[in-house]
């Protein structure tokens, strides 16, 4: 069922939140998404209620904002210039927003004239509304049992609730955009909810899955053996701290029916506790999370009871000084500050950040989440230029100085705002996150980088070379002027094959390197045939391919291995770094980064979280799915980019 749903999740109006309960819905999860109505939220918990009410309010705000932006742009560049930038699908979306935005403005004016409150719920219902679909009855839902007042308020606000409906599949339109949600009607038989065989179809331009909450135990997946897992509840096994006669503590598994706040981890007198959504007893909502802290903090303070009792009052000043010093060290390590923003090429900006702890923990292949603070963002014509969270790979790090290089391809509004960052500006930098790239030993490795993908490969190539591998690097660009940081590529490999889609060819600086005009697959084909001269490293000897670039470029490499390069390559591992849309980047939480895979041998479908494991086998990746997901915000991004064009042209905003 989930694969059928995910197959329909492709445009901005189709999105998954909290799929299979991997973490609760968050209020700000909608802030970077363009949405259309009608919408269906799948689930019966407070997460679903919150998602539905927030979605309704967000949509009203969104269409009014897009109307205002469109009208400003129309006065500046003309309406025809705007429509010429949009394809048919995007134009339909924008027309819907404009129509609904005008209706919102009309309702505001009518309410003001009549001296009454605005009634946006009526408007939303006329557009198809927001409906919650739950597989059981309303009175059976966790939302009703835990907080029926919130359910009542959501109904008062116009949220629909349909009972006994289990989602089956998303039905698509001509653009592979969801147009309806197919559900199976359920009924209670012998105490169990079963499919009656009846199918019901709900119109839907947006689908949100907010079903359940499972504790996130991804750390154990990354570091097996660190924690004992309760397989029945799919969470950390609950332990309690037990004090021995000598005052030392150990952890032991709690008895059935008891509650513990400690994990199984115990090393060198250090322990790990867990609360909130990570805890099976307290998962599900904020109230329970607060209750977990109220119930569990005593367990932590008990560890230090003897130490506190033995403290001398005369030493309090020294202890306070030690705390201040510790806090200063922590502040310095965690604080992220822009050192500089440098333009490397057309649409390529390097942002150098000082963030000591984030720099020390980076491993090649991982990435960061960058965002500016609203309080320090520039304000132009009443619009605050705030970024959404951007997933950016560390091109290089200097742990000794605490520096990180992040290279940005200017595509949408947020990425273009990176050029406005000022030296000394404090920013939000989360990470590093994601799984480090596997670095082999003693292999011949082919690296294929397309455009910005080359920045991702800088640190990976250096790590591969340092482990005694032979490296041949195919570096592809649209034109020679797009090349940046040539030395970083050359220093990390044995041979570079430069290629550009549009000439002239990139001049080589080393005798062993090659250059050609053509795409990256054509470059591989010519190199394999010896058209570029001697080949000290043959493609026949390649053990591993790592391709990083656009979805089209990686798909071309995937297909070439089975066509033009089929008789050249031997058995090898082929990996692509999958650049799915991302929101939280906290590993298996919000589900924005879901990527569909299909096993080429068995045909079995599966879904993976790209923010947890971005390096995926090329032959399993559904690139059509990836391409569709990458278009999910295209209409809003184009309008934003047009707006920034004119702000930058008038120098109202200074950029590098």
3-state SS string over 165-224?
EEEEEEEECCCCCEEEEEEEEEEEECCEEEEEEEEEEEECCEEEECCCCCCCCHHHHHCC
Per-residue pLDDT averaged across 129-146, rounded? 88
Whether residue 25 is predicted with pLDDT greater than 60 in this model: the reply is: no
Which two structure tokens, joined as six digits, stand for 555? 């798909």
Q: How confident is the model at residue 592 (pLDDT cuts 50, 70, 90)?
A: confident
Q: Is the dihedral angle over the CA atoms 552, 555, 557, 562 positive or is it negative?
A: negative
pLDDT at 237: 94
Cα radius of gyration rounded to whole Å, the chain? 27
Whether residue 474 contacts residue 497, with contact meaning beta carbons closer than 8 Å, is answered with yes
Q: How far apart are CA 364 and CA 393, in angstroms?
A: 9
**Of all helices (H) and strands (E), which one includes residue 624?**
helix 623-630
Give whichever of 551-555, 581-585, 606-610 has the largest mean pLDDT: 551-555
Strand partners, 6: none
pLDDT at 618: 95
Q: 173-182: string of b/e by CB count within 10 Å (b at 16+)?
A: eebbbbbbbb
Higher pLDDT, 636 or 439: 439
Q: Which residue segments constitute the domains of the chain, with CATH numbers given?
A: 2-209 (3.50.50.60), 218-309 (no CATH), 333-433 (2.40.30.10), 444-579+614-621 (3.40.50.80)
pLDDT at 16: 38
pLDDT at 577: 93
Q: Is the dihedral angle over the CA atoms 280, 283, 287, 293 positive or is it negative?
A: positive
pLDDT at 650: 64
pLDDT at 269: 87
Whether residue 344 is predicted with pLDDT greater than 70 in this model: the reply is: yes
Whether residue 54 is predicted with pLDDT greater than 90 in this model: the reply is: no
Higher pLDDT, 258 or 14: 258
pLDDT at 28: 33
Per-residue pLDDT averaged across 419-424, rounded? 92
Q: How far apart are CA 420 and CA 448, in angstroms?
A: 31
Q: How far apart are CA 325 and CA 354, in angstroms?
A: 20
pLDDT at 646: 77
pLDDT at 653: 61
Residues, the chain: 656
Whether residue 620 is predicted with pLDDT greater than 80 in this model: the reply is: yes
Per-residue pLDDT averaged across 466-472, rounded? 94
């Amino acid at each position: 069922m989930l694969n059928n749903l995910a197959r329909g999740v492709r445009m901005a109006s189709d999105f998954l939140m909290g799929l299979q309960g991997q973490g609760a819905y968050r209020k700000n999860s909608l802030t970077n998404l363009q949405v259309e109505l009608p919408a269906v939220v799948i689930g019966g918990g407070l997460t679903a209620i919150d998602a539905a009410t927030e979605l309704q309010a967000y949509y009203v705000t969104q269409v009014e904002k897009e109307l205002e932006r469109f009208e400003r742009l129309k006065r500046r560049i003309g309406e025809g210039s705007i429509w010429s930038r949009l394809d048919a699908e995007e134009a339909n979306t924008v027309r819907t927003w404009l129509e609904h935005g005008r209706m919102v403005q009309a309702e505001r004016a009518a309410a003001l004239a009549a001296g009454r409150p605005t009634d946006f719920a009526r408007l939303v219902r006329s557009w198809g509304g927001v409906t919650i679909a739950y597989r059981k009855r309303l009175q059976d839902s966790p939302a009703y049992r835990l907080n029926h007042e919130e359910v009542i308020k959501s109904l008062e606000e116009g949220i629909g609730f349909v009972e006994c409906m289990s989602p089956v599949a998303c039905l698509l339109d001509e653009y592979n955009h969801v147009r309806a949600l197919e559900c199976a009607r359920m009924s209670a038989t012998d105490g169990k909810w079963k499919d009656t065989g009846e199918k019901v179809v709900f119109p839907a331009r947006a689908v949100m899955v907010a079903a359940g909450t499972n504790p996130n135990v991804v750390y154990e997946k990354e570091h097996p053996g660190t924690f004992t897992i309760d397989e029945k509840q799919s969470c950390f096994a609950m332990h309690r701290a037990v004090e021995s006669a000598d005052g030392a503590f150990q952890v032991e598994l709690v008895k059935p029916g008891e509650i513990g706040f400690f994990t199984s981890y115990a090393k060198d007198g250090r322990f790990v506790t867990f609360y909130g959504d990570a805890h099976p007893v307290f998962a599900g909502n904020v109230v329970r999370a607060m209750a977990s802290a109220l119930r569990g903090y005593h367990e932590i303070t008990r560890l230090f009871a003897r130490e506190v009792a033995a403290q001398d009052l005369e030493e309090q000043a020294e202890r306070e000084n030690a705390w201040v010093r510790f806090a200063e060290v922590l502040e310095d390590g965690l604080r992220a500050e822009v050192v500089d923003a440098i333009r490397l090429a057309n649409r390529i900006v390097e942002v150098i950040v000082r963030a000591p702890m984030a720099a020390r923990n980076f491993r090649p292949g991982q990435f960061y989440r960058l965002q500016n603070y609203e309080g320090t963002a520039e304000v132009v014509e009443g619009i605050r230029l705030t970024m959404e969270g951007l997933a950016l790979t560390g091109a290089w790090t200097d742990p000794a100085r605490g520096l990180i290089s992040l290279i940005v391809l200017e595509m949408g509004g947020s990425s273009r705002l990176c050029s406005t960052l000022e030296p000394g500006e404090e920013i939000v930098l989360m990470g590093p996150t994601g799984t480090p790239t596997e670095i082999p030993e003693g292999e011949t490795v082919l690296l294929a980088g397309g455009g910005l993908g080359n920045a991702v490969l800088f640190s990976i190539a250096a790590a591969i070379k340092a482990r005694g591998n032979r490296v041949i690097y195919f570096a592809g660009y649209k034109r020679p002027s797009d090349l940046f940081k040539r030395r970083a590529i050359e220093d990390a490999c044995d041979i570079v094959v430069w290629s550009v889609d549009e000439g002239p060819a990139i001049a080589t600086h080393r005798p062993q390197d090659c250059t050609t005009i053509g795409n990256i697959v054509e470059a591989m084909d010519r190199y394999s045939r010896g058209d570029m001269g001697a080949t000290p490293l043959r493609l026949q000897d390649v053990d591993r391919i790592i391709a990083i670039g656009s979805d089209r470029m990686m798909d071309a490499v995937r297909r070439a291995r089975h066509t033009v390069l089929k008789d050249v390559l031997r058995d090898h591992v082929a990996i692509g770094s999958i650049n799915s849309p991302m929101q939280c980047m906290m590993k298996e939480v919000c589900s924005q980064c879901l990527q569909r895979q299909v096993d080429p041998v068995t045909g079995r479908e599966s879904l993976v979280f790209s923010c947890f494991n971005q390096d995926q086998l090329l032959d399993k990746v559904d690139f059509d799915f990836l391409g569709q997901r990458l278009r999910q915000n295209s209409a809003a991004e184009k309008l934003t980019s047009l707006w920034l064009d004119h702000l930058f042209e008038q120098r109202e905003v200074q950029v590098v």
